[in-house]
């Protein structure tokens, strides 16, 4: 593989782009493209690989894609990779109500980055996980399910960006990606 000078991150989400740039910016230039690719149903890993393959085909070059899941332990991992659809349909309070009849409110935030060198190249996965709990919404509601995911007493929404970028599922996945990029580029 030729040394990468920049990553083409496939996202239309400016918050995700800002987090990725904040964490990877010292290692590689991160560019962004917003393209729509259909998502299959499956495990977090199957969805991430398929999305990455489709994005590489669409732009005919190297890509980085990201998928996020929120796994409720009481629901054996649901909503998982379908969290965006659940959040859109139910909102923060609806997600909370899903757990009202359960004693267990623990959850795991999962972030999976997939990198492909281009069309026909098998994606490489970098995954991070953060264990926490589902709580009633606290903090600004401007970034997905951040107001209901609590880690060590604070929701992601209550944390400032630097604090979140040191402990989040996305951070943990990006640290793995950053280490891989450093090895590949040296």
Residue numbers in the known binding site for ITP are 11-16, 51, 67-68, 143-146, 164, 169-170
Q: Which residues are annotated as a binding site?
A: 11-16, 39, 51, 67-68, 143-146, 164, 169-170
Query: Which residues sit in the known binding site for Mg(2+)?
Result: 39, 67
**Beta 6-10 vs 29-33: how paired, if at all?**
parallel
Residue by residue, what is the 3-state secondary structure of the chain? CCCCCEEEEECCCHHHHHHHHHHHCCCCEEEEECCCCCCCCCCHHHHHHHHHHHHHHHHCCCEEEEEEEEEEHHHCCCEECCHHHHHHHHHHHHHHHCCCCCCCCEEEEEEEEEEECCCCCCCEEEEEEEEEEECCCCCCCCCCCHHHEEECCEEHHHCCHHHHCCCCHHHHHHHHHHHHHHHHHC
């Amino acid at each position: 593989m030729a040394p990468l000078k920049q990553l083409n991150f496939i996202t239309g989400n400016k918050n995700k782009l800002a987090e990725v740039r904040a964490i990877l910016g010292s290692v590689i230039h991160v560019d962004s493209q917003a393209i729509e690719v259909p998502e299959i149903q499956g495990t977090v890993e199957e969805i991430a690989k398929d999305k990455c393959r489709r994005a590489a085909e669409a732009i005919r070059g190297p890509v980085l894609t990201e998928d996020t899941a929120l796994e409720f332990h009481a629901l054996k991992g649901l909503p998982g990779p379908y969290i965006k659809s659940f959040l859109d349909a139910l909102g923060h309070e609806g997600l909370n109500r899903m757990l009202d009849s359960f004693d267990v409110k623990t959850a795991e935030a999962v972030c999976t980055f997939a990198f492909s060198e281009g069309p026909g190249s098998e994606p490489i996965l970098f995954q991070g996980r953060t264990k926490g709990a589902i709580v009633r919404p606290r903090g600004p509601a401007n970034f997905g399910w951040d107001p209901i995911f609590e880690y060590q007493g604070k929701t992601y929404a209550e944390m400032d960006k630097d604090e979140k970028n040191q402990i989040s599922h996305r951070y943990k996945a990006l640290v793995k990606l950053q280490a891989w990029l450093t090895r590949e580029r040296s």
